[in-house]
Structure 1
Amino acid sequence: MRVISGEYGSRRLKAVPGNNTRPTTDKIKEGMFNLLGGYFDGGNVLDLYGGSGALAIEAVSRGMDLAVITEKYRPAIQTIKENIAITKEEEKFVVLAGDNRNALNKFRNQQPTFTFDLVFIDPPYHKQTIEADIDWLEDQNFLNEDTIIMCESDDQTVLPEDMHGWELYKEKHYGQTLVRLYHRRKQVDE
């Protein structure tokens, strides 16, 4: 596993030990960022199910300003911290340990107006909560008008094209993995 491109390009990343996480392969990660347009001009990114932290690290490598990573599995948290250290820019990352919603609520208390421009939602395939996660992030005002939400799931997971004001605008299959991009549905003046 490695950082594909950008400032940290080609740096090796550690995988989380054991079988409790499912790392996104380099091929899928490269495809995901190509769907997003490749590079960014600042902004805040949330990796809601951190795993190794690879998606957040890739996003910062490609130009995001700050990444917030939530993770509850202790060995994964340690791996995330080790992978962030590889960037030598630890100040660009916030790691929130514990249940993602509780951790984000605590973060919200310290940063009351903070929003994310890009959100990765990649829950364990057998525990799909993508719709509920988007609704919760919306209810907590973590999403702004231009937020892009990237969801990764197995190809058996059915998600609607319109999720409570968020519409699907791109999707791509990578074997048994399905990546979907959502943005806020624009209101049409009548």
Structure 2
Amino acid sequence: MRVISGDYGGRKLKSAPGENTRPTSDKVKESIFNIIGPYFDGGRCLDLFAGSGGLSIEAISRGMDHAVLVDKDTTAIKIIKENIEMTKEMTKFDVYRSDANRAIEMLATKNSPFDLLFIDPPYFEQEIVKQLEKILSLNLLADKAVIVCEVGRKIDLPDKISGAKQFRSTVYGASKIVLYEVFSEGAF
């Protein structure tokens, strides 16, 4: 596993051992960023089930200003912090050890909206629709924010969730990547 492109391109990333995390492969990661925009001109991202932190580190490498990474697993948090140290830009990252649902509530009280959301829960713990509805109701995402969901290949997510509309769904092996864009009220 490595950073594909940008400021940290080519640098290796560690992944947490065991079955608690399922890192997004380099091939899938590259495909995601080719779709959502290879490079960014600033912005903030939230990685709700961060695992190794690879998606957020890639987003910062490609031009996002700041990333918030959340994971409830202690080993994952340790790996995330080690991977962030590799960037030598630790101030661009905030890391929280928390359950996703508690993190959503906590972030609603202290952050400006995010421009990019990664939501890749363990396949057996998925509450994506409920969590996205909560995130959108708390205005945690900016207008035109992109949501990247990674689910099992047989999981079907709705075309619309509150103020977000699906614009792409692609299967990669056992995984499916589903992309949404947030629209202001009445836009669709």
Using structure 2 for the length normalisation, give the TM-score: 0.94
RMSD: 1.6
Give the conservation status (yes or no) of the 8 Å contact 1:46–1:116.
yes
Q: Give 1:87 shift.
A: 0.3
Q: Give 1:107 shift.
A: 4.0
Give the conservation status (yes or no) of the 8 Å contact 2:136–2:162.
no
1:28 matches 2:28: yes
Gaps of 5+ in 1: none
1:176 matches 2:178: no
Counterpart in the other structure of 1:154: 152
Any residues of structure 2 matched to 1:105-120 within 5 Å, and which? 105-111=105-111, 114-120=112-118
Counterpart in the other structure of 1:66: 66
Give secondary structure in 2 for the equivalent of 1:117. strand
- Report the AA paired with residue 27 of structure 1: K
- Return the alpha-carbon distance in structure 2 between the equivalents of residues 172 and 158 of structure 1: 11
Give secondary structure in 1 for the equivalent of 2:67. strand
- Report the AA paired with residue 167 of structure 1: K
- Return the alpha-carbon distance in structure 2 between the equivalents of residues 188 and 28 of structure 1: 30
More moved, 51-60 vs 132-141: 132-141
- Report the AA paired with residue 181 of structure 2: H
Counterpart in the other structure of 1:128: 126
Give secondary structure in 1 for the equivalent of 2:109. helix
- Return the alpha-carbon distance in structure 2 between the equivalents of residues 94 and 31 of structure 1: 25
Give the conservation status (yes or no) of the 8 Å contact 1:125–1:153.
yes
Identity in percent: 46
Counterpart in the other structure of 1:82: 82
Gaps of 5+ in 2: none
Return structure 1 stretches of 4+ with deviation > 6 angstroms: none
- Return the alpha-carbon distance in structure 1 between the equivalents of residues 153 and 108 of structure 2: 33
